[in-house]
Structure 1
């Protein structure tokens, strides 16, 4: 059975998107990317050294013939900054895909919803395939879909916090209302977090720090791959309902009952 993730008409077999930041070495990054089975990789354009054409960047360590690059606007605090970096990412990556982040909050790194919506509207008008990172706000998610975003990407918890999914109820509403893929992004710490997101009906997850900062990034990348696959299969299979009381798993009809005491 074919079960592909489709974003803006492009098909992916993997529902795990991975980031390229915070790895201890480039070798760790490459090994983790390969082990994860991902087909889409985010790149923070502002963090590349593009001034020196002879300097190697992470772009030189990845075989981009195998992956969809997802340039992101990490580090941008305003609409204008995000649009400028998105355009730069289009030139560097030769792709219209962009992960949109507008984050003026340097302490908690929560995205600015109003600025994200405005930047998304303008980037869609310029022909970008916009994947916006947002707080788990169902109203904002619907507005972003309405202006033409290719996905919505609600956070599970604060970026890099490893707190797991604190926004389950809001994410459930976003999934229920969305007509575009929903990607849970930020805060995931372990594969069970990713599995829970997919079990809820999310279409994909984006993971960076949990893999990059693991003791063994490649092994953690492989583990997240398994978690995503398990969660998706569980969603498709359909979980049992929640009951207040126990329900016997063995048949209770036509079973001989023990004789009463003294009989």
Structure 2
């Protein structure tokens, strides 16, 4: 009886957890997936399905060189009635280029049936060596796209001031990097990430550099609304298994965040009572 009541209580608490909401649209998963670097399309699709991700991002420039309705195109296999497409401007080095590619992304979404999808993951990266986002270019492109009615999800260096500026001009989220793209180094700027999370009124999505499921756990544990993962899954020895690990990691981190961890102590605190002992 007690076990059943405890299970019902836990199920009720878990059921009360709110969905991820971006610009008024709800998503059941806090794990977002990229589609690059997989050995083949079937493996990418299988990993996405196993992850139960609600949002999948695709580089528009990569789609430009192929027929989006071709059987070999990853978009052909995605269940677009349940998966929300997030076109991204990866590979763009200037403001003008990013704006043009964002527009193409919207047209692709319309062609695939997501007519009202004006989401765009904004990337303006002029640094070919370290792939760090251009803060000024990102801000300019974001402001233009917001004014054109786009839901802008900007990829950015973990700079709390820039995060505030992007929110003030109307971005739907901020997406600070954990560490350089594809590096797998994990959370290298955790203090800055925590400042951004504490001061943001929009969802904070930690993007780039996550290497394994424990990085996803920690990201959500410190209060991030979601994580976006690509290389950690695609470059693992078993992408499908890592996709499952990431899915469970995000859930674990969220439950831990909602539980509110114990207060740290600078000394040991006994678990057993020191009074009322038999001897």
TM class by shorter chain equals: over 0.9
Please, which runs of 5 or more residues in structure 1 have no aligned partner? 258-263
CA distance in 1, matches of 2:124, 2:64: 21
Among candidates 25, 29, 47, match of residue 32 of structure 1: 47
TM-score (norm 1): 0.95
Which residue of structure 2 lines up, in the alignment, with residue 15 of structure 1? 30
Which residue of structure 1 lines up, in the alignment, with residue 109 of structure 2? 93
Q: Does the aligned pair in 2 maintain the 1:49–1:57 contact within 8 Å?
A: no
CA distance in 1, matches of 2:273, 2:219: 34
Superposed, 1:83-122 pairs within 5 Å as 83-94=99-110, 95-122=117-144
TM-score (norm 2): 0.90
Greater RCO, 1 or 2 (C-alpha within 8 Å, sep 6+): 1
Which residue of structure 1 lines up, in the alignment, with residue 220 of structure 2? 198
Superposed, 1:69-148 pairs within 5 Å as 69-94=85-110, 95-148=117-170
Question: C-alpha displacement at 1:216, in angstroms?
Answer: 1.2
Structure number with bigger Rg: 1
CA distance in 2, matches of 1:254, 1:122: 69
In the alignment, does 2:211 pair up with 1:211?
no
Which residue of structure 2 lines up, in the alignment, with residue 65 of structure 1? 81
CA distance in 2, matches of 1:80, 1:49: 17
What whole-Å deviation, never above 9, does each CA across 1:32-67 have from its counterpart, x for those lacking one? 000101000000000114465775422112121120
CA distance in 1, matches of 2:268, 2:154: 43
Superposed, 1:239-250 pairs within 5 Å as 239-250=261-272
Which residue of structure 2 lines up, in the alignment, with residue 261 of structure 1? none
In the alignment, does 2:260 pair up with 1:223?
no
Size of the aligned set, in residue pairs, is 257
1:71 alignment partner, SS class: strand
Q: Does the aligned pair in 1 maintain the 2:56–2:86 contact within 8 Å?
A: yes
Structure 1 consecutive aligned stretches of length 4 or more whose deviation exceeds 6 Å: none
Q: 1:119 to 1:248 in 2, by over 3 A?
A: same
Aligned-residue Cα RMSD (Å) equals: 1.2
CA distance in 2, matches of 1:3, 1:61: 29
2:42 alignment partner, SS class: helix
Question: C-alpha displacement at 1:179, in angstroms?
Answer: 0.3
**Greater Cα offset, 203-212 or 45-54:** 45-54
